[in-house]
Structure 1
Amino acid sequence: MRSKPFSPIQFFYGPSWVCLSESFVNWIFDYLKEHPSFSEYLFNSLNPDESIFQTLLMMSPYKNTRHDYLHYIDWSEGPGKPRNSPNTLTLADYDKMMESGYLMARKFDMDVDKGIIYKLMKDI
């Protein structure tokens, strides 16, 4: 059974891998204790790991303290693409990815374009 949309909160999406300060983690625990419906909603959602911390951060007093984590990820929207899923990188993304200055990249799929993976292995 699907949940109804969660109140007036705007959800944000991003990577599953994050580094959180102790003060922000404490704020999260306090918020979740005061708003159990937020956790209940995410329990039944598709990608809570790619939205919970990002959404909480943007709702918190820490929203202007975020730092880049050096991953190249293309979250741009496209026809038929879910908003909460990063694009699969292909050879067409190679130059932008290499010029980004980021140390890591996501998301690759051998069934979509193995050429990008082989090019990265050869060049790096």
Structure 2
Amino acid sequence: MMKSQLKRWQKNQLFIIQNDQMLHGGGYSLVNAEMILLRKATEVGHYNHYHLLSGQDLPIQSQETIQKFFLKNSDKEFVGFDKDIFTYGDRVYYRYFFQELAGKRKSILKSVDKFLLKMQKKLNIKRNENIEFQKGAQWFSITDGLARYVLSKDEWIKNVFKNGFCVDEVFLQTIIINSDYTDKLYYSKSDGTHKNTMRLVDWSSGSPHVFRYDDLDDLRKSDLMFARKFDCAVDERIIQKIYEIYAN
């Protein structure tokens, strides 16, 4: 690392948070982890935006461009919405008692949860019927105001979403549409664009495409800030090239 790079990185701080709870795909533990991250970040200071990124995300603009963009839109929320009508009622109206143990993989516990779901429907055991829900991407960039508002809803979030299914894609969107923050969305249309989160994700194959070196031109042409996903086991060259282009 060159001295100029070292000096720049020394201005940043890295915090490692202890979390004893295992994270499971589709489980409430993912929401809990996001809440832990937001709580720590807001304790450290007041920031213009808090960005939730996965380990397979990379910036596709320079740091200067990214910072200028979010400063220009310092009062905007970057949260994705799939569509205008919520069609995922099974995720929030019923309880999944073994979701944290089963995860997304097929198992006997997954089968038990499916059976219990059928029984809840048959017996008309339903919850959260008076709440307007919405769904979208898990990844976001939100303002300090929204971050602290979300944290203030901690108990409500637990009561509504615990034992739900894949609620990490529902809880933030639901909070926003039931608040004044709806008016602060950078892009409020639910038309499949990625401008609402400023994250480039290619769903053309039905699941997130893993970017490769052949995708470099498309990545460089994009006016979005981040992209996912990347995997060094699939193509390490594209990751190295992104670093060469945007790290300085």
Tell me the TM-score range normalised by the shorter chain: 0.5 to 0.7
Q: What corresponds to 1:74 in structure 2?
A: 201
Cα distance, 1:98 vs. partner? 1.0
Match of residue 180, structure 2, among 61, 70, 75:
61
Greater relative contact order (Cα < 8 A, sep 6+): 2
* Cα distance in 2, alignment partners of residues 36 and 122 from structure 1: 43
How many residues get paired?
Answer: 113
Cα distance in structure 1, aligned partners of 2:173 and 2:202: 14
Q: CA deviation at 1:110?
A: 0.4
CA distance in 2, matches of 1:25, 1:40: 20
TM-score relative to the length of structure 1: 0.58
Larger Rg: 2
User: Of the candidates 223, 229, 232, which is equivalent to residue 101 of structure 1?
Assistant: 223
- Alignment partner for residue 162 of structure 2, among 20, 40, 43? 40
Q: Flag as ranges the 4+ runs of structure 1 deviating above 4 A.
A: 32-36, 68-71
Give the RMSD, CA atoms, in angstroms.
3.7
* CA deviation after TM superposition for structure 1 residue 74, in Å: 0.3
Query: Structure 2 vs 1, CA of residues 77 and 22 (structure 1 numbering), >3 Å: closer, same or farther?
Result: same
- Point out where structure 1 has 5 or more consecutive residues left out of the alignment: none
Deviations 1:71-97 (A, max 9, x none): 533052533x2xxxx543223432222
**Counterpart residue number, 1:29:** 152
**Distance in 2 (alpha carbons) for counterparts of 1:118 and 1:35:** 39
Partner of 2:39: none
Alpha-carbon contact 2:157-2:171 (below 8 Å) kept: no
Which residue in 1 is equivalent to 2:71? none
1:12 aligns with 2:141: no
Report % sequence identity: 18
Distance of 1:89 and 1:14 partners within structure 2 = 19
CA contact (8 A) 2:91 2:166 kept: no
> Does structure 1 conserve the Cα–Cα contact (< 8 Å) formed by 2:161 and 2:167?
no
8 Å contact 1:72–1:100 — kept in the other structure? no
Give the gaps of 5 or more residues in structure 2: 1-25, 28-89, 94-128, 187-194
Q: CA deviation at 1:27?
A: 6.5
TM-score for the superposition, normalised by structure 2: 0.34
1:14/1:46 CA distance change after superposition, 3 Å: closer
Q: Could you tell me how far apart the structure 2 residues matched to 1:101 and 1:56 are?
A: 28
